[in-house]
Amino acid sequence: MNRINLLIRTFLEWAQNVGLVIIAIASIFAIGTEVVSMISLQKVALADLLLMFIYLEVLAMISMYLESGKMPIRIPLYIAIVALARYLILDMKSMDAWQLVGVSASAFLLAVTVLVIRYGHLKLPYDNDHQDKHTDL
């Protein structure tokens, strides 16, 4: 039974690493596509920079996971905040007041969540022996 568990765990880790490599390659391709687009248009907009920042955060998240074996929970929250900021920048003119408040409140709530997680991580660190491999809490 232990041999089967080891085989399954090895397969899942291999599949996870393949998935991470695919995501990294797709992110690098997306950055390249965005750069080519900016060069061809000879224009750089804030929305373009925020999109590239999102891609870089995805790459950073992958790098941190491969380096430490832990999935940093704050990085997806940062990505979500930047994505909401980009959404606000691109679609602000077409939003009504309640949509604007909703998206802004969502970004604020995510920022508060990051602060709570960071505070909890500093004040209540877990022992490494009991730490979950897939969180940074």
Query: Do residues 74 and 118 lie in contact, with contact meaning Cβ atoms separated by under 8 Å?
Result: yes
* Mean pLDDT, range 94-122, rounded to an integer: 92
Instruction: Flag whether 32 is in a domain.
Output: yes
Residues whose CB is less than 8 angstroms from the CB of residue 31 and which lie 6 or more positions away in sequence, other chains included: 52, 55, 56
Query: Do residues 107 and 114 lie in contact, with contact meaning Cβ atoms separated by under 8 Å?
Result: no
Is pTM beyond 0.85? Reply is no
Q: Within its chain, how far is the Cα of 34 from the centroid?
A: 18
pLDDT in tens, 33-85: 999 999 999 999 988 999 999 999 999 999 988 888 887 788 899 999 999 99
Instruction: Flag whether 6 is in a domain.
Output: yes
Residues whose CB is less than 8 angstroms from the CB of residue 64 and which lie 6 or more positions away in sequence, other chains included: 70, 72, 75
Q: Which domain holds residue 66?
A: 2-130
Length, in residues, of the chain? 137
Given a cut of 70, is residue 131 above it in pLDDT?
A: no
Instruction: Flag whether 59 is in a domain.
Output: yes
Instruction: Flag whether 24 is in a domain.
Output: yes
Q: What is the count of structural domains for the chain?
A: 1
Sole residue written with tokens 């992958």: 62
Alpha-carbon span 122 to 9, nearest angstrom: 31
Amino acid at 94: S
User: What is residue 136's DSSP assignment?
Assistant: -
Instruction: Flag whether 135 is in a domain.
Output: no
pLDDT in tens, 118-129: 888 787 776 554
Instruction: Flag whether 83 is in a domain.
Output: yes
Instruction: Flag whether 136 is in a domain.
Output: no
pLDDT in tens, 17-33: 999 999 999 999 999 99
